[in-house]
Each structure stands twice: as structure tokens, then as C-alpha cells.
Structure 1
Amino acid sequence: MALKLDDKKAVVEEVATIAAQAHSAVAAEYRGLTVTELTELRRKARETGVYLRVVKNTLARRALEGTEFECMKDGLVGPLLLAFSMEDPGCAARLIDEFAKEHDKLIPKIVAIGGQLYDASELKRLAALPTYDQAISMLMSVMKAPVEKFVRTLAEPHAKLVRTVAAIKDQKEAA
């Protein structure tokens, strides 16, 4: 069923609003996926905070104008779905990468982050980015290590003195 002009304007406005707020975007070809598989992909997208939308390429080009994902315009060819990461930069890439492992009909085509266009081969690198919570825990462990080492260094002379006194005591008791 063809969209009316008002419907097309609404779709463009919705996708443009999402693209303006998103951290990264992935375009993937979905040709050959069944309705059940697409429904499963949409369910997983909702759970992980990914905006997933199948949009006509001409409408997607108009929606991406003026956003940092404008670099994707030339690569929008064929039946594509757009996945925008709303939570962290890697969540859309993780979703598409994990789903593509199970369903070989889903083929990643374009990856964009920070106004830069990347080949689909970079999808795994983007998917490997830590989440916000993982990044914070990594940072805290790096910040905590020097403090722990400093405390151990300060405590070592006292511990060494106690061990020396205990060794002298044991030596005198043995004699």
C-alpha cells in the first residue's frame, strides 16, 4: 500500500528525530527474512534500546539530511532496515551482529558512528565496544589499582618487622 504525502512526512520526521539523538547507525539488508524472524528482531531491538525501522530509501535519505548520519545516503540501496543505537554506541551493532549469526539472510551493509561511514566489516569492532556500565567498571578498576598498590607498599615495612620479630622469637625458642 502506497503512503500518502502526510504519512511520508511523518516517517521522515520520526526517523530524523531519532537519527539526531542516536549514537550510531547500522543499515542491513533483510531480504529473505520471514515475518516471524523480523518480529523476533524487532522484539530484541526493543529490549536492548535500539530503534529499528524499515524505511524506503528515498525517505531515509531525506530523514538523514542534516544529521551526523548523512554520510550513509549514498549506500542506501536495496531493501534495508535501519538500526539506531539509543543507549550506547555499540548496541545496534551487537543486535545486528548477533542476529546475523543465527540468520544468514540478514546482511549488514553500512555502519556509521560519529559522522564517519564504515564498511560492514567494522560491525564486529563496533559491537565489541563496552557498554556504559562495563566502561565505568573498567575505569574504576584502573583507578583503584594504584591506590591498592600504594596501601600495600605502606603496609609492607610493618609486616616485614613483624615477620622479623617472629623469626627471631622462633630462633631463640629453638636454641
Structure 2
Amino acid sequence: MALRLEDKKALVAEVNEVAASALSAIAAEYRGMTVAEMTELRAKARSEGVYMRVVKNTLAKRAVDGTEFECLSDSLKGPIILAFSKEDPGAAARVVKDFAKECEALVTQAVAIGGDVYPASDIDRLAKLPTLD
């Protein structure tokens, strides 16, 4: 279903607000995931305090513009899901990494923290960060 201009502006503002206060972000390709798998991934993300959203790439680029995750813009190609850690820097990485073990269709594209973008292989390093507890 196509979004109206007002809906697109609201979506960009919502993602921008989350990105502005997030500690880290993961961009992952979800091509080939079933609806049940996507629902399960979103439930796990919610339980870990991770904001996860599928956003059209052009809108995602606008949403991260002006935040420390602007560095992700070049990685936003194909069907991408954005995951932002709001409380624990490694939470999004752990959710995506753990779920990717079960679902091969979920492939990490980029990892961002502190205004720097890292290759997908660095998701392990971010996931191993100790929690704040």
C-alpha cells in the first residue's frame, strides 16, 4: 500500500527521533523472510528494547540525515530493516545476530556506532559488548 506524503513525513520524523537518541544501529537485508519470521524477529526486538523498522531506502536516508547514523546511507540498498539500540549498545546486534542463526534470509549489511560505519562482520564485536546491568 502506498503511503501518502503526510504518512511519509511522519515515518521519517519517527525514525529520525529514534536515530537521534539511539546508541547503535544495524542495517540488515530481509529478502526471503516469511511473515512469521519477520513477526518473530520484531517480537524479539521489542522484548530487548530494540526499535526495528522496515523503511523504504529513500525515506531511511532522509530519516538518518543529521544523526550520527548518517554514515549508514551508502549501505541502504535492497530490502533493508533498520534496528536501533536505545538503551544497550549491543542489543540490536545481539537480536539480529541470534536471529540470523535461525533464519539465513536475514543478512547484516552494516553496523554503525558512534558515527562510524563498520562492515557486517563486526556485528560479533558489537554483540559481545557487555550490557549496562
Which of the pair is proportionally richer in strand?
A: 2
Gaps of 5+ in 2: none
Q: Tell me by how many angstroms 1:87 deviates.
A: 1.4
Q: Following the alignment from structure 1 to structure 2, what is the Cα–Cα distance between the partners of residues 76 and 128?
A: 24
Detail structure 1 runs of 4+ shifted over 6 Å in the superposition.
none
Specify which structure has the bigger relative contact order, considering alpha-carbon pairs within 8 angstroms and separated by 6 or more residues: 2
**Superposition TM-score, scaled by structure 1 size:** 0.75
Q: Following the alignment from structure 1 to structure 2, what is the Cα–Cα distance between the partners of residues 47 and 82?
A: 16
Q: How does 1:135-174 map to 2 (within 5 A)?
A: none
Q: How does 1:30-45 map to 2 (within 5 A)?
A: 30-45=30-45
Where does residue 7 of structure 2 map in the other structure? 7
Give the length in aligned residue pairs.
133
Give secondary structure in 1 for the equivalent of 2:129. Answer: coil
Q: Following the alignment from structure 2 to structure 1, what is the Cα–Cα distance between the partners of residues 64 and 3?
A: 19
**1:114 pairs with 2:123:** no
Where does residue 19 of structure 1 map in the other structure? 19
Q: Tell me by how many angstroms 1:100 deviates.
A: 0.3
**Superposition TM-score, scaled by structure 2 size:** 0.99
Gaps of 5+ in 1: 134-175
Which of the pair is proportionally richer in helix?
A: 1
What whole-Å deviation, never above 9, does each CA across 1:127-169 have from its counterpart, x for those lacking one? 0000001xxxxxxxxxxxxxxxxxxxxxxxxxxxxxxxxxxxx
Q: Following the alignment from structure 2 to structure 1, what is the Cα–Cα distance between the partners of residues 27 and 33?
A: 15
Identity of aligned residues (%): 65
